[in-house]
Amino acid sequence: RFAGATRAIAHRRERLVALSPDGVLARGYSITQDAESGAVIRSASATGISRRVRIRLGHGRLGARVDEVEA
């Protein structure tokens, strides 16, 4: 019975890690924010040409400037 509970807890822990923001980033996704306001950019129309953005990756961050927008 104890072994079953231990496996269930381990499974739930794995799911939580996989669904956490860091787990999602580790799978290749990124979070892009406006460099000035820090607002998360969810749509191309939320930014513009020459705007500076910060991109958070699974391992590190990037700073970038928008060259093109396709909304």
Give yes or no for a contact between 66 and 50, defined as CB atoms under 8 angstroms apart: yes
In this model, does residue 58 exceed pLDDT 90?
A: yes
pLDDT recorded at residue 18: 84
Count CA atoms within 13 Å of residue 64 on its CB side: 16
pTM of the model: 0.75
pLDDT recorded at residue 17: 85
pLDDT recorded at residue 64: 99
Q: Are strands 52-57 and 31-34 parallel, antiparallel or unpaired?
A: antiparallel
pLDDT tens, residue by residue, 2-57: 888 999 999 999 899 888 988 899 999 999 999 999 999 999 999 999 999 999 99
pLDDT recorded at residue 19: 87
- b/e sequence 11-34, b meaning 16+ C-beta within 10 Å: eeeeeeeeeeeeeeeeeeeeebbb
